[in-house]
Amino acid sequence: MNTKITRIFSAILVGLIFAIFSFIDIPAQDNRAGEEEAQLVTDGKSAILIEPTTFAVIYEKNADDRRHPASMTKIMTMILIMEAVKKGVISFDDTLYASEYASSMGGTNIYLEPGEGMKAEDLFKSIAINSANDSSVVFAEAIGGSVGNFVRMMNNKAKEIGCVGTTFKNPHGLPEAGHLSTARDMALMGAYLVNNHPEILEYTKIYEDYVREDTDKRFWLVNTNKLVRFVEGVDGIKTGWTNEAGYCLTATICRDNKRFIAVVMGGSSAKTRNQEIMQMLNYALGTYDVHNIYKKDQVIATYEDVSVYPAKYNVIITEDVNVLLKKGDKLKKITVEKNIDYKNLPYDNKKVGTMKIYYDGELIKEADLAVKEELKKAGYFKVFWEVLKEILLVSK
């Protein structure tokens, strides 16, 4: 009898527990994360959040919708300027002169007069800090020979980077039919900038400066990206606004050896745009860690070849390889496939092959490999001597 009562009581107790817990909402961890991500951008029409060394997308909203980029266009303009400087096409010490066309630009300017000359570095600062349209045209004419040719260079570079939704019509971003980009493409341009031309950030992080400082036409430059002043680690990149574009920003933050890039396009105000940019960046900083797998110039393999000098040489990887993981997640299996052309070794430290890196079976990177040493073809006597040494070593 007691056993029967116990069974009945147990069944009633289990039923009560089940009924109670059926009314309690216990959200899963993944659901909470998804809800948090969904609230990152509610005002901006398009947005994306990425880690620039892996190109991993953390969050996106309408990231492939084509929209007016406004002055975020100048990210590409700055990239081409810096590449022209590195190639020696122009120097930051050069004096560049404003054409009548450059002086006629509307919007944000430093009010260059026709024929006015200014040091190229000061013109660049006016773009990076103050978003000067007239300075952008001065560089376009100096580097491309004409604005039209410079715009072709911009579009070619965009394709090279992997931008598929971008068409530039000018170097400054003022409204023009067909001048369009996407949040994803702007993030790719931002990643290209920080990965290949980080020196640009030395300018975009400046909050205020001057041009024509020692003249009666002293002009105060104030950064259009207020986050560089008020948020630790924000050091770029470019704001944008027109009636057609709304409030736009491609921003980057570097903190705790982690860098992230966030883009908002079509915001209703500068305040909400900045808030949503920071919501994305703070989410990335608090949720993710970047794990390094290979460091740039790390030796991948060592080989011997008596036909070259030195006969023993090292093959290195030419870039960092990272993996983005949520905090607390452990690294999984990493495998590689090396493809090295031993028959056509370079003699100028150039590319000698590639290496595919797989993370947990998925291809995450294909990186170039190069020879660390400067190789030279070995002469007949050198080859004979290396072979003789091998014979002597074997015979011992």
Q: What amino acid occupies position 34?
A: G
- Within 10 Å of residue 51's Cβ, how many Cβ atoms? 21
Instruction: Provide the 3-class DSSP secondary structure of residue 130.
Output: coil
Q: Say if residues 263 and 188 touch (Cβ distance below 8 Å).
A: no
Select from 56, 60, 59 the least CA-distant residue to 291: 56
The CA distance from 114 to 214, in Å, is 20
Q: Say if residues 287 and 54 touch (Cβ distance below 8 Å).
A: no
Residues designated as active site: 71, 74, 131
Select from 163, 142, 167, 162 the least CA-distant residue to 152: 167
What are the residues facing 57 on neighbouring strands?
Answer: 50
The CA distance from 375 to 64, in Å, is 46
The CA distance from 80 to 95, in Å, is 18
The length of the chain, given as a count of residues = 396
The CA distance from 82 to 322, in Å, is 26
CA 91 to chain centroid, in Å, comes to: 25
Q: Is 123 exposed, middle or buried (0-12, 13-18, 19+ CB in 10 A)?
A: buried
Residue 380 main-chain phi, psi, to 5 deg: -60, -45
The CA distance from 97 to 84, in Å, is 17
Select from 222, 264, 215 the least CA-distant residue to 116: 215
What are the residues facing 304 on neighbouring strands?
Answer: 312
CA 148 to chain centroid, in Å, comes to: 26
The CA distance from 139 to 120, in Å, is 8
The CA distance from 169 to 173, in Å, is 8
